Amino acid sequence: MTHDEFIDFFIKIKLISVSERTAADYEKCLRRYLPLRAAVSELNIFAAQNIMLNMNYLSYGTIRRNLTILNQYSQYAVKYGYMVKNPFTDVERPRKRVIDSLEQKVYSENELKDIFQALSSEDIFWRAFVTIALDSGARRGELVALRWCDLDFAEGYLRISSSAYKMPHKNIAIKEPKG
């Protein structure tokens, strides 16, 4: 069986326990990194390590997520008899890159002034969108899914009740937010 065929099988199984969007992300990762025409049984530690090395330009979190997906895929291949051993269990993983300080993750007062200055010439929609994003920390999908009923002007709060997402080649859909 080729990776192309086994990926389809793997995704059908994953759709039982993960959202359609998550399954689409799994499929995108697998199709990006695995040799689709090659037999699943040919994937070995050398090939797996090369896949990991080809991810070195990505962030640590993305590499870790991709490794988790590839590891799960390989576990299923072992489970269903297409591999003897999961090659991703023994790959050398990158060490976490340490950010010097929290200040690198937070906008300074001057940076915020620059952002709001740049927004002053934008349409009210974008001024509101960016202001709510900066003030709330909401995810992009949560901001896109906001409705007027989510705003309570009397109490002064914004309720995040849903999140929008777009599947490849489909319309936008709404789901519950993550947290």
Polymer length in residues for the chain: 179
Q: In the numeric block, which tokens belong to residue 31?
A: 């199709």
| Those residues with Cβ within 8 angstroms of residue 109's Cβ, 6 or more apart along the chain or in another chain | none
**pLDDT tens-digit readout, 45-78:** 999 999 999 998 888 889 999 999 999 999 999 9
**DSSP annotation of 2:** B
Distance in angstroms (rounded) separating the CA atoms of residues 51 and 101: 31
For 120-148, what is the mean pLDDT? 91
- Confidence (pTM): 0.67
